[in-house]
């Protein structure tokens, strides 16, 4: 859009409407705001995670795919072409937002809480000790892979591996004392130290899966140019193209820093 109204002037607008295909009236108020303010969608008008937030991404995606909306901002284009942000899917019986990074809370998400409970109850039924395979089998019904079960065990304060290889259940009081933790205090003990999660649709299986990525250390790196460059080089970020892998999301964390509540003076790729 240009100030004189001729629609032929050169412009640095990040969002432009092809009015030969559709009138401006079809745009939502949110999209009009971004267009008029020349504000990229990755600097979103609405609160991240709100209905309006997802609706605006879905609207932009629909218009862009029909060539009604031209988008020039690099990060906006990447979100629209590489991800399904704005779409939803069903994961373990609940509706979840796709490709929307979420910071993992101190109290872990429902699946992992259930996993911890099932681990403990399975070990109790087995007399307090069991090998890995029975535990993997017990948790498979919740959608846990073998690696995820191993993560649960490693990060569970009242399970440890005995000398004979079996996993044993410690009394909660003993486990808390051993780990210098207070009883009845919520703690993150089930995600393998990961700080974020995102639901993604696997393009091969068409199924939705959870990808866990990142650590608290990523926060400090975002605004440190040398640290960012070192991270990108060490993790070969330029080669990370598979969004079903943790590396893809770790490398792109700065793009989502603001929606995660992270202070960032840097946007885009590492």
Q: Are 78 and 64 in contact (CB under 8 A)?
A: no
> Phi, psi (5° rounding) for residue 205?
-95, -15
**What's the whole-model pTM score?**
0.65
Closest CA to 16 of 48, 52, 60: 60
pLDDT, tens digit, for every residue of 179-198? 444 434 333 444 455 788 89
pLDDT at residue 191, as a whole number: 42
CA dist., res. 270 & res. 227, Å (int):
10
Pairing of the two strands 15-17 and 69-71? antiparallel
pLDDT in tens, 66-93: 999 999 998 899 899 999 999 999 987 7
Q: What is the pLDDT of residues 28-57, one digit of tens each?
A: 999 999 999 999 898 877 888 888 999 999
pLDDT of residue 268: 64
Which of the pair, 158 or 143, is modelled with greater confidence?
Answer: 143
For residue 254, the model assigns a pLDDT of 80
Whether the predicted pLDDT of 204 surpasses 70: yes
pLDDT at 230 over 80: yes
Residue 123 φ then ψ, to 5°? -65, -35
pLDDT score at 168: 87
């Amino acid at each position: 859009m240009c100030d004189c109204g001729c629609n032929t002037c050169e412009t640095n607008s990040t969002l432009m409407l092809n009015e030969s295909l559709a009138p401006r009236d079809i745009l939502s108020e949110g999209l009009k705001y971004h267009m008029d303010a020349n504000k990229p969608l990755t600097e979103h008008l609405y609160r991240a995670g709100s209905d309006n937030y997802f609706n605006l991404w879905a609207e932009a995606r629909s218009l862009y795919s029909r060539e009604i909306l031209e988008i020039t901002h690099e990060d906006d284009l990447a979100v629209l072409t590489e991800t399904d942000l704005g779409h939803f899917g069903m994961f373990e019986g609940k509706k979840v937002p796709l490709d929307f990074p979420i910071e993992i809370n101190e109290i872990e998400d429902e699946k992992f809480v259930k996993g911890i409970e099932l681990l403990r109850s399975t070990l109790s039924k087995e007399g307090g000790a069991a090998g890995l395979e029975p535990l993997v089998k017990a948790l498979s019904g919740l959608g846990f892979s073998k690696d995820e079960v191993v993560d649960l065990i490693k990060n569970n304060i009242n399970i440890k591996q005995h000398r004979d290889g079996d996993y044993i259940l410690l009394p909660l009081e003993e486990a808390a004392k051993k780990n210098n933790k207070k009883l009845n205090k919520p703690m993150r003990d089930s995600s393998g130290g990961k700080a974020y999660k995102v639901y993604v649709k696997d393009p091969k299986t068409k199924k939705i899966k959870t990808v866990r990525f990142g650590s608290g250390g990523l926060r400090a790196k975002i605004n440190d140019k040398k640290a960012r460059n070192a991270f990108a080089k060490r993790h070969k970020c330029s080669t990370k193209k598979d969004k079903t892998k943790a590396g893809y999301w770790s490398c792109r964390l700065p793009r989502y820093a603001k929606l995660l509540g992270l202070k960032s003076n840097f946007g885009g790729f590492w």
